[in-house]
Structure 1
């Protein structure tokens, strides 16, 4: 699904769809599988911690949600640049970069209420 792209990112494709949600999400099983596959023993901390995805120039903390269809990245309407929904290239931050970006965003590892 995702391949190494650079020292900091993996590259893959997802169907990106704007919705009425506040936080970006992918299907829960996809989220856990991607976290385990991409981070393995270097995990961000837990398989339910946000993945950090980059679309265009913006980084997004992405959660898992059972209501999102598999292979889809559901994003807030505010991210829609006018050409969504569409299949798009998506970068996923590698573990060190993801940890750094999440800490900059204020994510507190191990705190279930950290991303709301």
Structure 2
């Protein structure tokens, strides 16, 4: 089943997508605001859920926000996340995983985010890891 043309069902906990991964100044990973809102509405808006999208690039999970300046079909990540990945010569088309709403809630609760976007933003550099290293979750 194809979801919003960029993600398809992958497992009980994740959707699989292909996005261009590129570096972004700042501390929060981001994607196109329009695509973020569409994906969030389709996959996370269950019972008023307002948690951020949670993606996984290689072995690292992180909450993602929607930003106007990020091009469509792109995941823009801070340098520390990019350096933890196997992305070479960005922008690079890569497979990324998008956690299901239930899995995202579980991952956010590990960092104390509890589904609150503002708390998740504070943890964006190392979701699921207190020392900033990949968790493999």
TM-score range, shorter chain: 0.7 to 0.9
Q: Which blocks of at least 5 consecutive residues in structure 1 are unaligned?
A: none
Deviant stretches of 4+, over 3 Å: none
The answer to which structure, 1 or 2, has the higher relative contact order (CA under 8 A, 6+ apart) is 1
Name the residue aligned to 2:18: 13
Name the residue aligned to 1:90: 96
TM-score after normalising by structure 1: 0.85
Looking at secondary structure, tell me which structure has more strand per residue.
1
Name the residue aligned to 2:65: 63
Please show how residues 1-116 of structure 1 align to structure 2 within 5 Å: 1-41=6-46, 45-46=49-50, 49-81=51-83, 83=88, 84-110=90-116, 113-114=118-119, 115-116=121-122
Aligned residues: CA RMSD: 1.8
Number of matched pairs? 112
TM-score after normalising by structure 2: 0.73
Residues 42 and 87 of structure 1: is their aligned pair in 2 closer, same or farther, counting only changes over 3 Å?
farther
